[in-house]
């Protein structure tokens, strides 16, 4: 078969309407509880908004990273799934909205915003040139602008190719991927350090940014897997997808589960071994009272259980197993972020009630809505991509 004979057996189908309705209902309910929660307890809501901002950025930016990775690595198998990652990356636009409550409460969340305390504290004073409100907000704005910029470049070129079938667009995107990936490395590190690590501004860990990246990429992959399997079951993607494609998703999920465990354990072990007070207190805080259970549970939730779920070869291609693992990993990413942030809100034990549900519901609804509206006008697979034929024929 030569390239010109290749006939694409693809008809654009729309996502069913109930998807939109579910998204609308969840967003509406979520918004109401968030507002009530904010009125009742703004500080607690601010902490939750921080968790969910980090969560949304995980999915959005790392989806964009997956798109770039496909371009720069010349990956073939994932072309059929690229649109899903593209749609998912749109959620970087809703992240600043989710962030509003914590941006309004910087003073309550971040100790380094208290200029009086900082002036008296030698350690914080040294860090003040970086950790100050103005520079914090500037970085916040700059990293989002960078992400939006690259979003527009990648998505515009990818969608244009559906119509023009111009191979040059792929080349352009490859070049921009080369620029984006290092920029992504810096910006996601800034996000992790600024939002999650600086709640404990005196804590030292040189690997924390990688830790956030590892969990985030896992979440983006899980979201991609969940939606890909589901859309394929509903026949919304293209006929001819084989278990080889899904196996690749499963293998990546498995690989990054191990990567996360490797990073998380490295961070823990080095801190435990060196036993320096400016590092250990972070973990000690997470063993206070009932936090201990969550700390131990973490090893199981993020590593042992997904590891067992995805260990065998058949389970990596089993759609049902993939969906369970993907949902589990998404939940455990939220758990991870909660575990990072919340011990600063409630030092002596787990704090969990309806306030913690509010934002996840809202975010879930918004992600569904964003995904739905993005999928309306665009083909669900990149029909103009020169690698599409090989992608369909991909076998392990």
Q: How far apart, in whole angstroms, are the C-alpha atoms of residue 246 and residue 228? A: 8
Quickly list DSSP for 243-280.
Answer: HHHHHHHHHHHHHHHHHHHHHHHHHHHHHHHH--HHHH
> How far is residue 385 from each of residues 24, 87, 245, 348, measured CA to CA in Å?
33, 16, 17, 54
Query: For residues 259 and 268, which CB has a smaller minimum distance to another protein in the complex?
Result: 268
Binding mask 304-343 for another protein (x = CB under 8 A): --------xxx-----------------------------
Query: For residues 306 and 382, which CB has a smaller minimum distance to another protein in the complex?
Result: 306
Question: CB under 8 Å to 318, separation ≥6 — which residues?
Answer: none
In whole angstroms, the minimum distance from the beta carbon of 342 to another protein comes to 24
Query: For residues 207 and 327, which CB has a smaller minimum distance to another protein in the complex?
Result: 207
In whole angstroms, the minimum distance from the beta carbon of 296 to another protein comes to 13
Query: For residues 44 and 316, which CB has a smaller minimum distance to another protein in the complex?
Result: 316
Query: Nearest to residue 355, comparing CAs of 24, 25, 49?
Result: 49
Residue that is written with structure tokens 């067992």 in the block: 308
In whole angstroms, the minimum distance from the beta carbon of 279 to another protein comes to 14
Query: For residues 265 and 352, which CB has a smaller minimum distance to another protein in the complex?
Result: 265
In whole angstroms, the minimum distance from the beta carbon of 249 to another protein comes to 19
> What sections of the chain are H helices per DSSP?
17-40, 42-73, 82-89, 95-104, 106-109, 115-120, 122-127, 133-164, 167-191, 208-233, 243-274, 277-285, 291-298, 305-310, 313-317, 319-341, 354-377, 388-392
The 8-class DSSP code of residue 299 comes to I
In whole angstroms, the minimum distance from the beta carbon of 292 to another protein comes to 16
- Dihedral, CA of residue 106, residue 97, residue 92 and residue 102, to nearest 10: 20
In whole angstroms, the minimum distance from the beta carbon of 332 to another protein comes to 21
Query: Nearest to residue 258, comparing CAs of 218, 216, 318, 207?
Result: 218
Query: For residues 11 and 274, which CB has a smaller minimum distance to another protein in the complex?
Result: 274
Kindly determine how many residues on this chain lie close enough to bind another protein according to the rule CB under 8 A.
11
Q: Pick out residues in 230-289 that bind another protein (CB under 8 A).
A: 265, 268-269, 272-273, 275
Query: For residues 188 and 210, which CB has a smaller minimum distance to another protein in the complex?
Result: 210
Query: For residues 264 and 330, which CB has a smaller minimum distance to another protein in the complex?
Result: 264
In whole angstroms, the minimum distance from the beta carbon of 241 to another protein comes to 15
Q: 74 φ, ψ to 5°?
A: 65, 30
In whole angstroms, the minimum distance from the beta carbon of 396 to another protein comes to 7
> How far is residue 291 from each of residues 227, 302, 341, measured CA to CA in Å?
33, 16, 12
Binding mask 17-46 for another protein (x = CB under 8 A): ------------------------------
The binding site for another protein (CB under 8 A) comprises 265, 268-269, 272-273, 275, 312-314, 395-396
């Amino acid at each position: 078969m030569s390239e010109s004979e290749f006939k694409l057996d693809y008809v654009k189908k729309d996502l069913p309407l109930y998807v939109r309705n579910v998204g609308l209902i969840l967003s509406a309910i979520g918004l109401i509880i968030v507002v009530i929660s904010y009125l009742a307890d703004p500080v607690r809501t601010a902490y939750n908004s921080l968790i969910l901002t980090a969560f949304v950025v995980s999915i959005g930016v790392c989806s964009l990273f997956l798109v770039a990775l496909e371009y720069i690595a010349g990956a073939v198998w994932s072309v059929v799934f690229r649109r899903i990652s593209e749609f998912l990356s749109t959620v970087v636009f809703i992240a600043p909205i989710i962030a509003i409550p914590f941006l309004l409460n910087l003073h309550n969340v971040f100790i380094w915003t208290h200029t009086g305390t900082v002036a008296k504290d030698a350690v914080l004073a040294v860090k003040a040139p970086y950790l100050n409100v103005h520079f914090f907000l500037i970085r916040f704005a700059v990293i989002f602008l960078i992400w939006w910029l690259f979003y527009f470049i990648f998505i515009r070129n990818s969608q244009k190719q559906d119509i023009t079938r111009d191979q040059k667009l792929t080349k352009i995107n490859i070049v921009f991927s080369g620029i984006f990936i290092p920029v992504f490395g810096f910006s996601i590190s800034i996000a992790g350090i600024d939002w999650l690590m600086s709640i404990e501004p005196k804590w030292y860990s040189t690997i924390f940014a990688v830790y956030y990246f590892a969990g985030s990429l896992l979440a983006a992959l899980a979201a991609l897997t969940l939606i890909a399997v589901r859309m394929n079951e509903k026949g919304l993607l293209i006929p001819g997808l084989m278990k080889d494609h899904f196996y690749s998703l499963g293998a990546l999920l498995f690989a990054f589960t191990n990567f996360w465990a490797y990073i998380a354990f490295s961070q823990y072990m080095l801190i435990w071994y060196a036993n320096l007070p400016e590092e250990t207190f972070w973990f000690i805080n997470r063993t206070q009272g009932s936090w201990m259970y969550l700390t131990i549970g973490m090893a199981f939730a993020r590593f042992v259980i997904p590891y067992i779920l995805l260990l065998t070869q058949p389970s990596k291609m089993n759609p049902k197993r993939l969906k369970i693992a993907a949902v589990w990993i998404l939940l455990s990413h939220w758990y991870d972020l909660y575990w990072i942030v919340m011990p600063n809100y409630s030092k002596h034990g787990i704090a969990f009630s309806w306030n913690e549900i509010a934002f996840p519901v809202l975010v879930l609804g918004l992600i569904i809505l964003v995904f739905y509206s993005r999928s309306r006008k665009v083909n669900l697979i990149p029909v103009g991509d020169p690698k599409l034929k090989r992608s369909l024929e991909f076998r392990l």
